[in-house]
Structures are given as C-alpha cells and as structure tokens.
Structure 1
Amino acid sequence: MRLNLISKLAIATSLVLLSTMALFAYLNFRSLQGLLLQEAISEADRISETILRTTHNQMLRDDRPMFYKTLEEMGSQQEVERIRLINKTGRIIFSTKDAETGFLLKKNTEVCAVCHGTTQLLLTASSKHRSRRFFSESGGELLGITSAIYNEESCYTASCHFHPENFKVLGVLDVVVPLDRMHSVLDAFRNRSIALTVLVLTLTALCITLFTQKLVNRPVRELLEHTQMLSRGELDGLVEGFANDELGELADSFNAMTLNLKRARQDLEGWGRDLEEMVQQRTYEVTQMQAQLIRSEKLASLGELVAGIAHEINNPLTGILVFASLIQSNKKLDETLRNDIETVIRETKRCAGIVKGLLEFARCSPPQKELHSLSDISEAALTLIQHQILFQDVSIIREYASDLPKLLIDANQIEQVLVNMFVNAGHAMLGEGVLHIATGMESDEGAAFIRIVDNGCGISEQNLTKIFDPFFSTKANKGTGLGLSVSYGIVQEHGGRIDVTSEIGVGTAFTVTLPLPDRASVTPLAPTPLSPPGDPSSLPCA
C-alpha cells in the first residue's frame, strides 16, 4: 500500500516523539522511583530512630515488658510491616511475628551483613547502606532498615546494665516497612505518563497532519497536478502562489518554466505555420514556373509547326481567293451561284485571317524597345476600344501611379497586349460593367505592373490553366483563341510575366508585370500568386 507524504511525516514524527517521550518517561520514572525509595528509607529510618528514642529509658531501666509492648504498638501501625530486636549474638530476642522470636541468624544473612563486612565490623553506615529490599511470601515488596543499638555511656554506667564498656554494639533493631505506597505512586505516574504520551502523540500527529496538509502536501499536490498537466501538453494553467519559502520559489520556477514552454510551443507553431505557408507559396511559385516553362516550350514547338503550316496554307488560300473573286466579278455567273461564291470568298478571307494570326503567333518578332510610359500606352489602347459598341455601357476607372518611371518596352506590342485584354474584359462583362485599370510598383521585385480588373462572369478554375494555350477560347464562334497566347509571348519577350486570378460570378484580374529599365536585361520575373478579384488586397471590382 502506498503511503502519502502526510502519513509518512506523521508516522516518522510520531516514532521520534514516542522514542523521546519514552526515554524521558523512563528517566523520570527511575528518578521518581529513586526519590520515593529514598523517602521510604528516610521514613523507615525515622521510625527506627523514633523507636530507639522512645524506648531508650526503658532499656536503661531494663523494663523489658514495657519495651516489648512499645515495639508491638509501633509494629501495629499500618506503615510498619515488622519490627525485630536482635542481640549481639544474632538471636532474635523479640519480633512482632512471634514465630521468629528465639531464631538465631547467621552473620551472612542479609540483616546481619549490613553491619558485618567481609573482614571487619561496620560500626557506622548510612541509611542507604543499612537498607535492603526483598519480597514477602505474598509477593509484596518490602523495605528493611537496620539500626544498631550502641553501648553508650549512659548504658554501661547504668546500675541495671551488665554490658561491659568494651562492647560497642549491644544489638540491632530491624524495622521492615511495605513499599505499596511507593508502587502505587509509581503506577499512577506510569499511567499518567502513558496517557500524557498518547495525548501528546495524538495532538502532535493532528497538528503535523494539519500543518503538513496546508504547508507541504497541498503545494506538492498542486505541483504534481501541474507537472501532469505539462506532461499532457496543457500549458494554460499556473500554480497558485505559496508562502515566501522554498515551495513558493519552486512554484514560481514552475510557472516560469510553463510560460517558457508555452512561448516556445507558440514559437514552434508559428514557425510551423510560416514554414507551411512558405512551402505552399514556393510550391505555387514552382508550379507557376513549371506551367510557364511548359507553356513556353509548347508555344515554341507549336510556333515552329504553325509557321510551316501557315506558309503552306497561305498560297492555296490566295489562289482560291483570287479565282473566287474573278468568278464573282464575271457577269456570266449564274445568280443562283452568286451567294455560294460569296460564302466561299468570306470563309476564305476568314481562313486567311486565321493564317495571318498564326504567322503573327509564330514569328514572335523581337521587340523594338524604347522608353515609354506604361500609363500612356494604356491610354492609347483605351482610345482604340472605348468608342466601340462593346464598351458603351462599361465604366472605366483609371488609377495610374504618378511616380511610375518609364519602361524600356516596345510600345506597339504592349499596346497590342492591352487591347487584347481590354477586349476580353468587355466580352466577359457582356458590354456592361466596370473596368478598373491600375499601375504601380512592386518594390520587392523592382518591377512595374498594370492590372486590369473586370466584374464580369469570371473564368472557371478548369479553364484558368488553359487560357494561354493557342486556339483555346470560351467565346462561341468568336476569335481564333490566339490573342492571349500572342500576348503571353510578347510579355515574355520583354522579360515580364502575366498573372491571372478569377472567380466565377465575381470577375477576373489580369496583371502584367514588366521589369524596370535597370532590370530589363535580367531573366524573366518569377511568377507571384495574386489575390482573387473579390479579395480586399486586390483592386475593387465596382
């Protein structure tokens, strides 16, 4: 069974206290026993002295009947067990117990050994050395004290005495008293000591339990619970402050450790989120770059193929168009066939337009770069399209940066790019909406941009990856699908890029980024993800 801290401290303290009190009680018991025994010896000695003084005159007169009667009266007292008178030869000449009278004692008996040493007679001895302790037949402890009766001058000069002067001791008075009172006092003291010990142990254990619970166990339990919370990863709780002691310092250290762990975990989580965002950002950029590389390779390969096909088709189309025109101008032509010839001429011209677009796409002629204002080029492109029927109900918002430097670009080619995007925006808005045009600087890349935002129908995510592919178009029976492909090639030749974001029902944002003059000869700019038109960081689609 596992003991808690309070039980261990209470048991340990109780054992120490019990041992201390037991030793203290034992020493007190022995001391009290010695004091009571000395008091009993003194009391017995006083009785002996009283008997000797009381019977002195009787002994001088040799009044034995009165002497013996006095001894019997003294022996009848409750605190006296027995009185004996022993002569110098060791014979008991009187005893309060008649059976002992006339009995001869040897020198080695306990009562005689008090005065008779091993080699010589002890004429004087202290009351302690004249006393003896023994047990009666009934089992009670007795104390005997022997007092010598000396042959004083008054004795050997008395007329009635027959003891010569050279006798030093005439006899011995042996008084035996019971030690019951001493044992009663000792038993009472022992009982009180045991009761006091139990009481002190109980109170001490209770006080230790209460104080340990308040000062030690509660703080330790809270620290243990806090440690278990830390092991589970719960870093929100703190240990309540304790007294200004070691446990209080330990609690403060735990709180500081918890705050440091929480701060470290927050930092790690922040780094993890930042790293995840960076990975996603880089992944998107790599995907965009790969898409651009694939698109560039596709356009390059397709351009070579288209150039050859366009040249091969252009000559037969020219012949068809010439002969169809001659047939149409011939007056002999049957009127019923004239509509058919017009259809042939119209479709042939349409094929010729497609071939022309293919040739323009395939040529990718190097740009003739000069310093031009991007805002001026945008205005020139708007001049070409804003009077068309498609833009009659379209509001055009201009937001040109005033501090935008001139760029080293081919104005005609960039104008062609912007016209294509403006027209696509007009078709997306179905001739009614808001076209937002803005220019600015990208300080982190050292480039300028122009952003065209419309609030048209938007482009689906599925089609968003195909809009720069040749011949891809979402317009039914309109265009060749080469406008954005040609625009993409032009911007790439300028060392820039085109980014597009779109959301169905919200609109589309095209961003053309071109390098500044000091970076015009650098490798093309890396793709940067743009926010969708509805995002607050992008231009508003009013």
Structure 2
Amino acid sequence: MRLSLLAKLSLAISLILLATMGLFAYINVEQLEKLLYEEAITDADKLSETIIRTTHYHMLENNLKRAYQIIDEVGSQRDSIERIRMVNKFGLVTHSTDSKENGLYLDKKAEACSMCHSGPSPLLHATSMNRSRIFTDKAGKEVLGLAKAIYNEERCFTAPCHFHPKEAKVLGVLDVIVSLDQMHQKVYVYRNEIIVLTVMQIGLIALCLTFLTQRLVNRPVRAMVQHAHLIGGGDLDATVTVKNRDELGELANAFNRMTKNLKKARVELEDWGKNLEEKVEERTQEIKKIESQLVHSEKLASLGELVAGIAHEINNPLTGILVFASLIAGDSKLDPSLKGDLDLIVKETQRCARIVKGLLDFARESMPQKKPSALNAIMDATLTLICNQACFHDINVVKEYNPDIPEMHLDPNQIEQVFINLLLNACHAIGGPGEIRIKTGIDHEKGEVYAAITDNGCGIPEENLSKIFDPFFSTKDNKGTGLGLSVSYGIIEGHGGRIDVQSTVDVGTTFTCWLPVDYEESQKTATEPDPPPPQKPA
C-alpha cells in the first residue's frame, strides 16, 4: 500500500509525539508517586511525634491506661491508619490498636525492627526514610510502616513512678502503620488524567500538523508534481502558482524558469529545423568565402614570387631604353620627323616603368613599420595629397570621423597608400561630378576600427566582385595595371585586418577597411558603440 507524503509525515510525527509524551507522562507519574510516598512518610513521622509528645506526660505519671486510650483514639479517627503499637526495648508489644498483638514479642528481624537491628549493634538514630518500610499486610493491602524510637530522657530516668536506668538510651519504639490506598488512588487518578491529556494533546497536535503540512507542503508539492506531468506531456505553457516565500516557493520559481527555458529551446529547435537549409547555405557561403580568401592569398604569394623575378629582369633593360630614348629625343641632330616616335617610345617606356614599379610593390614582402598613428590623421594627409588632382575638382568629399578612435600601431605610409588607391578608384568610378563619403568608427565588441569610403559612381558588376583583388584585373579599359587593390589587400592583411566591398551597378561602391585595435587602448576610450558602416552606397 502506497502512503502519501501527508500520511507519512502525520504518522511519523504522531509516533514521535506518542513516544516522547509517553516517556514524559511515565516520568511525571513516577515523580508524583515518589513525592506522595515521601509525603506519607512525613505525615506518619509527624503523627508518631504527636503521639509520643501527647502520651509523654501520662507515661511520666505512669498513667498507662490514659496513654493507651489516646493511642486508640488517634488510631480510630483516621481511616488511613491500620494500627499503632508500642514495643519496648525487649521487643514486647506493650499496646496495639490491634488487641491481638498485645503481649506478643517481635523478632529483631521483623519489619518493624530490621532497619535498626540489621547491623552488629542497634542504631540509636536513623532518618525517617531509613525508618520507613512498605509491605503487604495479611489482608493483601500495601501499607507503610514507620518506627519511631522513644528515647530515655532525663525526666524519664528521674521520674518516681517507674525508674529507668540512666544508661538506657532507647526505652521502646512507636510503630505506626498506615494504608497507601489513598496514595495509590491519587496516583491512578493522576495517571488516567495524564493519559487522557496526552492523547488529546497528541490528537490536537497531529490535526494542526496535518493541516499545516497539507497547506504548506502537500499542496505545493502536488502542484509541482502536476506541473511535471504537464511538462512530460509536452505542455510547456503551464506554470506553477505557488505563493510560498520559502524553499518550496523558490523550487516553484525554478520549475517555471526551467519550463520557460525548455519552451525557448523547443522554439529554437523548431526554428532551426525550419531554417536548417538556409543556415546550411549561409555556412556554405561563409566556407566558400574563406576558401576563396585562402586561394586568393596563395595566388598572391605565388604571383608575388613570379612577378618579382620578372620585374627585376625587365627593369634593367627598360631603364636603359628609357635613358637612351630620352637622350636621343633631346639631341638637336635628331631628324624632326623622328621626334614624335621617340616621344612615344619614352612615354610607353615610362608606362612600362610604372607597371614594373607596381609589380615590385606587389611582390615586395616588406614588414609594416608600425608606430602609434591616428587613423583620421592618415586619412586627412591622404586627402591633402590627392585632392589637388584634376579628377577631384568636381567631387564633393564628405568626412564623418569618429573623434574617439584611439591611436593604433600602424605603418602610416602603407595605410596612406591603401587610402590613395581606394580614393583614386572612387574618383575614376565617378568620372565627373559626384560625392565621396568617408566614415571612420570603432566597434568595441569586435575590437576593430574601420574606415569606409563610399562613392556614387558606376559600381562594380556582381560577377566581378570576387575578382577585384586579383592581380592585373582591372575595369578601367587599359588605363590601369590592376595591381592597386591587390597591393592594398596585402597591406591591410599584413596589419591583421580585412577589406570588405559592397557595390551596386549605377548606384555606387563602398570599400571598408577593418583594422584591429589594442584591447587596452579601446577600453580606455570606450564610448557608446558607433553605428555600423554603410552597407550600401548612398
């Protein structure tokens, strides 16, 4: 049979109360019986003393008849007194309220004598407890006997009526025997009252504990069990309404938080299942992008080694051609009809020299010479350098700098070269009046600084976006070498950063350079995060 929690608690508490209160009641009854026994001994001792004092004068006058009458009257006035008897020092019962005992000799081993005659010599003085005894009389009743010695005082051994020797210490014993029925009756009544009160108290406490347990423990536990069944059945909208401000209340709140988290997890799993294909596609594109970057890096490294050798081999004869062609073109003996051809040779040779220089810049794996530099200052220096060119005369440059960007460890010359390439590309893409918007900022979460250059030029077709950082790829119709963006890509990558590009044909293009910033420096100047750089050109 399965017992409920309430039944188990009630049963356990009731058994504990029964055991503890039963032990308390037993000890209490025993103590009461002991106190009543001591009180009975005290009463018997006082009664003996009263009888001895009352009959003392009659004994001195040798009026034994009157003394014995007093003893009989005292014995007859109390129902609790069984008998009173006087025993002389020889053990002779001189008088007893039970006339059958008169003239009998008591053995020293009798109950009335054994407490004083148990040793080798009789005791002259003993406490009332040592002079008392409990025994069962002939009628089967339990009685209390108290023997009190009658001492030989000076008035006794000097009295003329009956002379007692002075050396005698004890003349006899007054033995009082009282019934213990009244004491037992009181003990029985008290014990019954204790039992009734104990049972009533146990019942009342059990009811109170049952009520409190039902209200404070059983109900919340049942509510949480029901809630667990609902969760097991898939109902994650269920909540536990337990208002207790204790451990059970905290447990209920934990159940509700757990249910909320389970529901959130299930919704996420459902969304994940619904959007699994999209997420897989996104991850695939990211992997392809990373692979493309790796391939691009390997391609740049291979091409760098190749073009470095080619550039060195071409550069020497090209320099000779340029020098001698310039000398001949400046010679006055030259036929004027040939001067145009020589000028063309010099111009194309210079163009080849520029291409070779670009190849060397692309192939040169020089480490950035980093020093503390301000990104905004590098951008201003770049604008000062190139804004005087003719292509920038009809272009409006809008600067949106974040003044809180900290100084970073950069190679200002290399970063300036990157900005020159990007700004010149933006200018060529506009090809006339237009606008270039420059925005700088910091992303504290990523620990990166960015510089975004946006133009409203012709844009880049989508099929060319993956090729623009390849060496020798250009969209300028034989006006460019196709090395500017490749060199810029290598410089930013050498600084631990990256270049992102977004472009729409006939709308414009945005190049964003991301550079890492020291965490400590960014923390010192941390402010509210800037809005992200523009994703689409204005």
Task: State TM-score, norm by structure 2.
Answer: 0.51
User: Cα distance, 1:138 vs. partner?
Assistant: 3.1
Please state whether the residue corresponding to 2:120 is helix, strand or coil: coil
CA distance in 1, matches of 2:505, 2:146: 135
Which AA in structure 2 matches 1:8? K
**Structure 2 CA distance for partners of 1:244 and 1:517, relative to 1, 3 Å:** closer
Which AA in structure 2 matches 1:226? H
Runs of 4+ in 1 over 3 A off after TM superposition: 275-280
Please state whether the residue corresponding to 1:55 is helix, strand or coil: helix
Matched with 2:83 is 82
Conserved in 1, the CA contact under 8 Å of 2:87 and 2:174? yes
Matched with 2:172 is 171
Matched with 1:450 is none
CA distance in 2, matches of 1:13, 1:102: 65
Matched with 1:146 is 147
User: Cα distance, 1:101 vs. partner?
Assistant: 1.9
**What pairs up with 1:316-395 in 2 under 5 angstroms?**
none
Which AA in structure 2 matches 1:211? L
CA distance in 1, matches of 2:31, 2:96: 34
Structure 2: gaps spanning 5 or more residues: 282-458, 464-503, 507-538
Which AA in structure 2 matches 1:66? R
Post-superposition Cα deviations, 1:379-433, rounded to whole Å, max 9, x if no partner, equal xxxxxxxxxxxxxxxxxxxxxxxxxxxxxxxxxxxxxxxxxxxxxxxxxxxxxxx
CA distance in 1, matches of 2:124, 2:146: 15
User: Cα distance, 1:19 vs. partner?
Assistant: 1.7
CA distance in 2, matches of 1:25, 1:16: 14
Matched with 1:19 is 19
User: Cα distance, 1:278 vs. partner?
Assistant: 8.6
Equivalences, count? 292
Matched with 1:2 is 2
Please state whether the residue corresponding to 2:52 is helix, strand or coil: helix
User: Cα distance, 1:274 vs. partner?
Assistant: 2.7
CA distance in 2, matches of 1:98, 1:136: 16
Post-superposition Cα deviations, 1:85-106, rounded to whole Å, max 9, x if no partner, equal 1111112122111222222211
CA distance in 1, matches of 2:67, 2:155: 17
Matched with 2:252 is 251
Matched with 1:232 is 233
Post-superposition Cα deviations, 1:311-351, rounded to whole Å, max 9, x if no partner, equal xxxxxxxxxxxxxxxxxxxxxxxxxxxxxxxxxxxxxxxxx
Matched with 1:30 is 30
Please state whether the residue corresponding to 1:149 is helix, strand or coil: strand
**Structure 2 CA distance for partners of 1:197 and 1:517, relative to 1, 3 Å:** closer
**Structure 2 CA distance for partners of 1:90 and 1:274, relative to 1, 3 Å:** same
Which AA in structure 2 matches 1:53? R
Conserved in 1, the CA contact under 8 Å of 2:108 and 2:114? yes
**What pairs up with 1:119-518 in 2 under 5 angstroms?**
119-275=120-276, 446=462
CA distance in 1, matches of 2:218, 2:253: 17
CA distance in 2, matches of 1:174, 1:211: 61
Matched with 1:118 is 119
Which AA in structure 1 matches 2:15? L
Task: State TM-score, norm by structure 1.
Answer: 0.51
Conserved in 1, the CA contact under 8 Å of 2:109 and 2:118? no
Does residue 62 (structure 1) correspond to residue 62 (structure 2)? The answer is yes
Please state whether the residue corresponding to 1:76 is helix, strand or coil: helix
User: Cα distance, 1:22 vs. partner?
Assistant: 1.6
Matched with 1:40 is 40
User: Cα distance, 1:132 vs. partner?
Assistant: 0.6
User: Cα distance, 1:279 vs. partner?
Assistant: 10
User: Cα distance, 1:446 vs. partner?
Assistant: 4.9
User: Cα distance, 1:277 vs. partner?
Assistant: 8.5
**Structure 2 CA distance for partners of 1:166 and 1:517, relative to 1, 3 Å:** closer
Structure 1: gaps spanning 5 or more residues: 281-442, 448-515, 519-542
Q: Percent identity of the aligned residues?
A: 51
CA distance in 2, matches of 1:241, 1:446: 61
CA distance in 2, matches of 1:210, 1:173: 63
Post-superposition Cα deviations, 1:273-310, rounded to whole Å, max 9, x if no partner, equal 23378999xxxxxxxxxxxxxxxxxxxxxxxxxxxxxx
